[in-house]
Chains A and B, each alone.
Chain A
Amino acid sequence: MNDYLRKYKNLMMLIVFIVATIIALVPLFGVLGYVVKNGLSALNLQFFINLPKAMGLPGGGMANAIVGTLIMVLIASVIGIPIGILAAIYLTEYDRNSWLSTAVRFATDVLTGIPSIIVGIVIYTAVVLKMGNFSALAGGLALAVIMIPLIIRSTEEMLKLVSHSIREAGYALGISKGKTIMRIVLPTAAKGIITGAMLAVARVAGETAPLLFTALGNQYWSRSLNEPTASLPVQIFQYATSPYKEWHQLAWAGSLVLILIVIVINLVARFAFRSRSI
């Protein structure tokens, strides 16, 4: 009889955990569902090529926000990806164990945990105030600061997966350490490193807080990198919190585009570049 009770308990717990998983997935489908439903109807050609129209007027678009996001993510990637990969190379190939590498790893961890709005504050005081204006450059820099620790983490993990025997084979052939790293180890870990970079890109593409007081926002096209620049997440935020229904529609449409970008990058990164990890 005791056995029966235990079997019953086992079944109950299984059900509990299944229910937990279902509860966890409900918001996912809820959010995605509403975004698709409300966003799809407002998605048309005008959305992609028009600038925002004055409050309440129909026919506005988010063209400048989409371009702004692309530009700032590009700036962030150009700065953040090389710095991150190089730092990761130092930590795995040159110096795995000293106090310096421990300190750098600690700093990387701290930086991953910083709320992104804090990054915005720092870039504001350091860049925006100095330059005297909001800019896409400042926005891109803030995003880069967020990207760097992510890239370091994922690249380090991928480099560690490269079997040490490969490096030794390189040295044994009379290939110098630097060449071994760049021409043998890095290409071997390339797939995983690219995946990590893409996931970091997807992450910063959706960030709003760090852009609020670095790039600020713009209802018009920005003519240079040194001007306030619109971005998709900030524009969505501004429209969602506005009182105008037409703008709410645009916010849903913008969310749909943003989610599509993020999810597509995630899918491509995970499945097209699948490496032999996990």
Chain B
Amino acid sequence: MGQTLSVKQLEAWYGSNKTLKGINMEIAANHVTAIIGPSGCGKSTFVRCINRMHETMPGTKVKGEIILDGESIYDQDPVVLRKMVGMVFQKPNPFPSMSIYENVVAGVRLNGTRNKQNLQVIAEKSLRMAALWDEVKDRLNYSGMSLSGGQQQRLCIARALAVEPSVLLMDEPASALDPIATTHIEELVRQLKEDYTILIVTHNMQQAARIADSTAFFLNGELVEHGPTSDIFTNPNDKRTEDYITGRFG
């Protein structure tokens, strides 16, 4: 079941560069929230703060509060937190040294689960949720790299789901894929929101309009506007939002 996220005065630095300037945001559970904005507006940084990946880069700093399920994420071991908040990256990144099966269960197995039966059940369940099972069930031993781009991304989604997070972060998950694969991913996101809270970063506004329940517009490290998708796109409150949506800059 998905969880709510509460972001309070989040500030983030990359070296001396302040990339997030005080974000306040409530993210609803079992919702798809899209984050849109021009390049460099801080949307990727924002998302990477939520699973504390931002801190893994040298020279970064964070200030503020993020509450997941009533607890501050900064009070927890980041390794543990990342089992609760999963991430799918822009470019599909299956582990090259592992088979499809091994990739899916990697997060689960490397964290202690050894029982083969359990792993196989988890693998099938996750692959089905990612709508990939039928295509790979006969070649689970093949290398993860043998799949097409779209399939690799669904593999990465299955891998992230296998760990049973409550929040799924997706950083432009379809931008490296062709239109058909993109459609598959979007369909997947619509199905997944029943069980997960999904945050999806996208530079494609039509995509946001298609799949997101609510949309947030970032600009220059600030959250300009956040509301139901239909409102943002048809009747934005802020002029900057309107300018971006109508393509006056981008």
- Give A contacts to B, CB under 8 Å: 97, 163, 165-166, 168-176, 179, 183-184, 187-188, 190
A183 vs B87: C-alpha distance in the bound complex, in angstroms? Answer: 19
Contact across chains for B89 and A169 when beta carbons are under 8 A apart: yes
Q: Are A172 and B91 in contact (CB under 8 A)?
A: no
Instruction: Decide if B51 is an interface residue (CB 8 Å cutoff).
Output: yes
Chain A residues with Cβ below 8 Å from B250 are none
- The interface bits of chain B over 195-231 (1 if a CB of A lies within 8 angstroms of the residue's CB, else 0) are 0000000000000000000000000000000000000
CB of B130 closer than 8 Å to a CB of A: no
Q: Are B95 and A174 in touch, CB under 8 angstroms?
A: no
* Contacting residues of chain B (81-118) with chain A, CB-CB under 8 angstroms: 81-84, 86-87, 89, 91, 93-98, 106-107, 110-111
* Central interface residue in A165, A173, A175, by most chain B CB within 10 Å: A173
Q: Are A97 and B82 in contact (CB under 8 A)?
A: no
The verdict on B160 contacting chain A, using a C-beta distance below 8 Å, is: yes
By Cβ-Cβ distance, the 6 closest A-B pairs, closest first, are A173-B107, A174-B83, A187-B97, A172-B87, A174-B82, A165-B93
Starting from the known contacts A168-B89, A174-B111, 15 additional A-B residue pairs (CB-CB under 8 Å) come to A165-B89, A166-B95, A169-B94, A169-B95, A169-B159, A171-B82, A173-B82, A173-B160, A173-B163, A175-B106, A183-B110, A184-B95, A184-B110, A187-B98, A188-B96
State in angstroms the CA–CA spacing of A175 and B110 once bound together: 7
B16 to chain A, nearest CB (A): 17
A233 vs chain B, min Cβ distance (A): 37
- Which residue of the partner chain, among A166, A171, A174, contacts B96 with CB atoms under 8 Å? A166
Chain B nearest Cβ from A181, distance in angstroms: 12
Closest to B89 in A: A165
**Would you list which residues of chain B between 49 and 73 have a CB under 8 Å from chain A?**
51, 53, 56, 58
Partner of A168, one of B56, B81, B98: B56
**Does residue B131 face the partner (Cβ distance < 8 Å to A)?**
no
Q: Considering the chains assembled together, what is the distance between the CA atoms of A166 and B92 in angstroms? A: 9
Q: Which of B51, B93, B107 contacts A163 (CB 8 A)?
A: B93
Known interface pairs A168-B56, A179-B110. Does A188 touch B97 (Cβ–Cβ under 8 Å)?
yes
Q: How large is the interface on B (under 10, 10 to 19, 20 to 34, 35 or more residues)?
A: 20 to 34
Contact indicator B58/A172 (Cβ below 8 Å): no
A171 and B56 form a contact (CB under 8 A): yes
Which residues of the other chain, A, contact B89 by a CB distance below 8 angstroms? 165, 168-169, 172
Q: How far is the CB of A79 from chain B (nearest CB, A)?
A: 27
* Chain B positions within 8 Å of A165 at CB level: 89, 91, 93
Closest residue to A182 on the B side, CB-wise?
Answer: B110
Bound Cα distance A130, B56 (Å): 48
Chain B residue nearest to A97 (CB atoms) is B58
Q: List 13 A-B contacts (CB under 8 A).
A: A165-B93, A166-B95, A168-B93, A169-B95, A171-B82, A172-B51, A172-B87, A173-B86, A174-B84, A174-B111, A176-B79, A184-B106, A188-B95
Contact call B80/A174, Cβ cutoff below 8 A: yes
Q: Does B174 contact A (CB under 8 A)?
A: no
CA distance A104 to B64 in the complex (A): 38
Whether A169 contacts B93 by the Cβ 8 Å rule is yes
Interface residue from B58, B79, B97, B98 paired with A174 (Cβ < 8 Å) = B79
Q: Which residue in chain A gives the minimum CB-CB distance to B109?
A: A183
**Bound-state Cα–Cα, A147 to B96, Å:** 29
Closest to A189 in B: B97
In whole angstroms, how far apart are the Cα atoms of A186 and B91 in the complex? 21
Q: Is the CB of B27 closer than 8 A to any CB of chain A?
A: no
Query: Is the CB of B36 closer than 8 A to any CB of chain A?
Result: no
C-alpha gap A78/B156 in the complex (Å): 38
The distance from the CB of B83 to the nearest CB of chain A, in whole angstroms, is 4
- Whether A172 and B82, one on each chain, are in contact in the complex, defined by CB atoms closer than 8 angstroms, is yes
